[in-house]
Structure 1
């Protein structure tokens, strides 16, 4: 996995900004997580990722790199799932 560089050119700094999030979602990123996990549970996520990985040809020279990236993406999704559940429990117990 490549390490993120601290000093970015103006173009790279611009590319580090979110492209898909709306201004409202940037102000409340938890809404994105809630929406995602209201649509997909972890089983659905794993199914979709499996289908995605199976669509790559075995001879693809970048397959190993892609698998490593997808594994990191899976960990990111699972961590966000955990954080969302944890924050939801805190809200319920504080009410």
Structure 2
């Protein structure tokens, strides 16, 4: 879900859901899927990954952080936003991502 309030875009928790998602997919594949979903949501709301202020990553284990962090560096521009990893908080999914961004191109 995406909300736009006072020039700020809020992208609520995005799990790796797709007809192509495999239960046995790697955390890298699932993270890529989620980051692509976040990117599309931001673009549809008139923002972009370049305007993200903070990004929370909910995952089943802190051990996946190096892989997640490496992927985020590929998706975000030169300066990666603050990443908050919340181990054990992903509920039914291995990984979920939410973010806050400034509105505008």
Given the two structures, how large is their TM-score scaled by the length of structure 2?
0.27
Larger Rg: 1
Q: 1 or 2, which has the higher helix percentage?
A: 1
Given the two structures, how large is their TM-score scaled by the length of structure 1?
0.29
